[in-house]
């Protein structure tokens, strides 16, 4: 009987939503790391203290609508992206939607110095942003260097 239970557990597919949120309860906080590009945003989502979920890709117009939907899944949604060509427009749009958004100093996440930028790296960059954002929100103010957003 125990062997059958083990087999059944192994055959289950991994769920994109952590088990603590499958019951319908809201996560307390959701961290979104966003790797911003001209034609697409790569977003990694981290619910409460769980492992970050796989990165997702969005067109800029689709992302804001998706981000608004995340407010239903968590009591608080916080995100960050690296400063760059998009400026503060994305931050202002997300703030207007009720999402806390930090613009942070760009960092070199490539610890091995390979200097190769690929689509796979975008997902890792978004994951690093989500994890550092969670640390920053937990009180480690050295995890990210947050830029001051000027008045519009």
Examine residue 9 and state whether it is found in any structural domain, yes or no. no
Whether 1 maps to a domain, the answer reads: no
17 has pLDDT over 70: no
Q: CA 33 to CA 79: how far, in whole Å?
A: 6
What proportion of the chain, given as a percentage, has pLDDT over 90? 66
Note whether residue 19 is domain-resident: no
Residue 130 lies in a domain: yes
Q: Which DSSP letter does residue 149 get?
A: P
Tell me: the pLDDT tens digits for 28-51? 999 999 999 999 999 999 999 899
Instruction: Read off the CATH number of the domain in which 38 is found.
Output: 3.30.420.140
* SS3 of residue 41 by DSSP: strand
Query: Could you tell me if residue 64 is inside a domain?
Result: yes
> pTM higher than 0.85 for the full model?
no
Q: Are 35 and 41 in contact (CB under 8 A)?
A: yes
Cα 36 from chain centre: 12
Give whole-number Cα distances, 37 to 84, 113, 138, in Å: 9, 22, 28
Full residue range of the structural domain in which residue 130 is found: 25-137
In three-state secondary structure terms, 120 is helix
Kindly state whether residue 152 falls inside one of the protein's structural domains. no
pLDDT band for position 113 (cuts 50, 70, 90)? low
Distance between CA atoms of 30 and 52, rounded to whole angstroms?
A: 10
Res 101 pLDDT > 60:
yes
Calpha distance 91→140 (Å, rounded) = 22
Band of pLDDT at residue 4, cut at 50, 70 and 90 = very low
Q: Give the other-Cβ count within 10 Å of 116's Cβ.
A: 9
In this structure, is residue 127 part of a structural domain? yes
pLDDT band, residue 111 (cuts 50/70/90): low
Residue 93 tokens, joined = 């749009």
Tell me the torsion sign for CA atoms 30, 31, 35, 37: positive
Q: What is the pLDDT of residue 149?
A: 92
Looking at the 3D structure of the chain, how many domains does it have?
1
In a domain, 150, yes or no: no
111, with CB counted inside 10 A (0-12, 13-18, 19+), is exposed
């Amino acid at each position: 009987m125990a062997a059958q239970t083990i087999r059944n557990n192994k055959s289950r597919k991994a769920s994109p939503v952590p088990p603590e949120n499958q019951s319908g309860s809201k996560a307390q906080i959701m961290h979104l790391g966003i790797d911003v590009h001209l034609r697409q945003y790569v977003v990694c989502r981290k619910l409460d203290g769980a492992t970050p979920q796989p990165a997702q890709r969005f067109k800029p117009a689709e992302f804001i609508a998706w981000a608004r939907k995340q407010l239903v899944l968590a009591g608080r949604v916080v995100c960050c992206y690296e400063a760059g060509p998009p400026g503060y427009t994305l931050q202002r749009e997300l703030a207007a939607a009720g999402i806390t958004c930090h613009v942070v100093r760009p960092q070199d996440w490539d610890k091995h110095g390979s200097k190769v930028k690929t689509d796979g790296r975008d997902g890792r960059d978004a994951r690093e942003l989500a994890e550092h954002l969670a640390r920053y929100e937990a009180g480690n103010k050295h995890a990210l260097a947050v830029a001051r957003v000027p008045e519009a």
